[in-house]
């Protein structure tokens, strides 16, 4: 079933803007703005009842390791999920609760894309 074009446009307009994190600030990945780069500082472990496993371990296995440079390339609509993240030549789509397990240090020279 397809939504009416007017409803789709309203959903795009009502999406929360992603305010970029201040450069050099330690924040969770879900707080990093579109177009902004960051360096992974820490992966927080935590068991998810929803997923039945350690989210931090799963992220480490995917390549989210301390010191790795990443870039947020998109936030989905509506609600900002999933968060599209690029590490090297690989793009990942993370849900907000997964991105909250990644602590990053925002890069000082990263630009942000306005919406």
The C-alpha atoms of residue 43 and residue 57 are separated, in whole angstroms, by 8
- Model pLDDT, residue 13: 32
pLDDT of residue 110: 52
> What is the pLDDT, as a whole number, of residue 47?
75
Q: For the chain, which ranges sit under pLDDT 50?
A: 1-18, 113-115
For residue 75, what are its two tokens? 């936030």
Residues 64 and 80: their CA atoms lie apart, in Å, by 20
Q: And the tokens for 10?
A: 């309203």
Look at residue 14 in the predicted model and tell me its pLDDT: 31
Cα dihedral 51, 96, 55, 52, rounded to 10, equals -10
Which CATH architecture describes the domain 5-106?
Answer: Roll (2.30)
Q: Is 0.95 topped by the overall pTM? A: no
């Amino acid at each position: 079933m397809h939504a009416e074009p007017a409803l789709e446009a309203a959903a795009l307009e009502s999406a929360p803007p992603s305010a970029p994190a201040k450069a050099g600030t330690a924040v969770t990945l879900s707080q990093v703005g579109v177009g902004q780069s960051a360096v992974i500082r820490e992966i927080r472990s935590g068991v998810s009842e929803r997923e039945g496993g350690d989210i931090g371990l799963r992220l480490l296995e995917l390549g989210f390791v301390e010191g790795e440079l990443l870039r947020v390339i998109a936030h989905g609509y509506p609600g900002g999920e999933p968060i599209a993240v690029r590490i090297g030549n690989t793009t990942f789509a993370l849900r907000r609760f997964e991105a909250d397990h990644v602590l990053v240090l925002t890069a000082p020279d990263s630009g942000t894309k306005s919406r």
